[in-house]
Amino acid sequence: MANETLTQPSILACCEGCQNHFEVNGKVILSCNLKSEDGEAITLVCYDCPKCSRRHYVQIDNEHTKKLLHELKVHLARAARASKRDNFVSKKQSDKAKKIRERLKNERFALMAKYQGSKLYDPITLKEVEVRFSV
Ligand SMILES: [Zn+2]
């Protein structure tokens, strides 16, 4: 499943464990579906250092931010069709996209703050994951 992070061009990351610099692109970015202690379904986007395999968490989503992301995609697709037809993007449409992006950013930020340092569970392996964000 593509999301906003995956479609961005590759970036250079520095490992928090061994200080190794490595390229982060669609090939190394993983997403994992986890559950919080109170049962909230959480999707984390992460990548591993190729040298020491330390895991870095960079993005978090729950059902609500996924809905916002979907809303944004639908809106952008609609805006793209309209701009093709009319040859311009209306201010109303670009404002709306901006607003959804802003909400998405804020909600992800709040989720990160909520789950920073907490434990999540892999519902399949039941393995416990301690979350520390690298952003
Ligand atoms: Zn490393």
Which DSSP category does 12 fall into?
A: E
What is the pLDDT, as a whole number, of residue 64?
97
For residue range 54-90, list pLDDT tens digits in order. Answer: 999 999 999 999 999 999 999 999 999 999 998 888 8
Query: Is 80 within a domain?
Result: yes
For residue range 21-62, list pLDDT tens digits in order. Answer: 999 988 889 999 999 988 999 999 999 999 999 999 999 999
3 has a pLDDT exceeding 90: no
User: Long-range CB contacts (< 8 A, 24+ apart) of 11-16?
Assistant: 13/47, 13/56, 13/134, 15/49, 15/51, 15/52, 15/54, 15/56, 16/54, 16/56, 16/134
Ligand 1 centroid to Cα of residue 15, in Å, is: 5
Query: Is 39 within a domain?
Result: yes
Q: 3-class SS at 128?
A: strand
Query: Is 135 within a domain?
Result: no
What is the pLDDT, as a whole number, of residue 2?
41
Q: How far apart are CA 58 and CA 69, in angstroms?
A: 16
Query: Is 63 within a domain?
Result: yes
Ligand 1 centroid to Cα of residue 39, in Å, is: 31
17 has a pLDDT exceeding 80: yes
Ligand 1 centroid to Cα of residue 48, in Å, is: 8
pTM, full prediction: 0.82
Domain that holds residue 97: 4-130
Query: Is 85 within a domain?
Result: yes
Tally the domains of the chain.
Answer: 1
Query: Is 33 within a domain?
Result: yes
